[in-house]
Amino acid sequence: MQEMYEAMARLDQLVAAAGRAEEMVAEWSARQFVGRADEGRIVATTDALGALLTLEISPLSRKRLDARRLADEILAAVVRAEQAAAASKDELMTGLHHP
């Protein structure tokens, strides 16, 4: 009978851990990540998976940068946002594996 109580207690612990993990994933998946370039005048925002949500380009960046440099700065902002999302995912996964 003691084994049954221990098994039930362990099952309760697993269910609670799964609930906490589900909450962590839900919270993480709702986050947005920002990358900036050209001294903050270009701002890219991605979702938790790194998909681009918004891209803001200052009129000053458009005026002062040639097309190639503007493209490089846009790419830099997007990559920084994607990297922030990936780092957050890695942190989440580590937290899920080591409660």
For 38, counting Cβ atoms within 10 Å of its Cβ (0-12 exposed, 13-18 middle, 19+ buried), the class is buried
In sequence order, which ranges of the chain are alpha helices (DSSP H)?
Answer: 2-29, 59-64, 67-97
pLDDT tens digits, 3-48:
888 888 888 888 887 787 788 777 878 889 999 999 999 999 999 9
Percent of the chain with pLDDT over 90: 54
For 2, counting Cβ atoms within 10 Å of its Cβ (0-12 exposed, 13-18 middle, 19+ buried), the class is exposed
Structure tokens at 33: 């990540």
Domain 2-97: give its CATH architecture: 2-Layer Sandwich (3.30)
Residues pairing with 37 in the sheet? 42
pTM, to two decimals: 0.76
Report which of residues 95 and 94 the model is more confident about.
94
Provide the pLDDT for residue 98. 62
Task: Report residue 90's pLDDT band, with 50, 70 and 90 as the boundaries.
Answer: confident
Average pLDDT value over all residues in the chain = 89
Domain spans, the chain: 2-97
Q: Residue 87, Cβ neighbours under 10 Å: how many?
A: 11
Q: For the CA atoms of 83, 84, 90, 96, what is the dihedral angle to 10 degrees?
A: -160
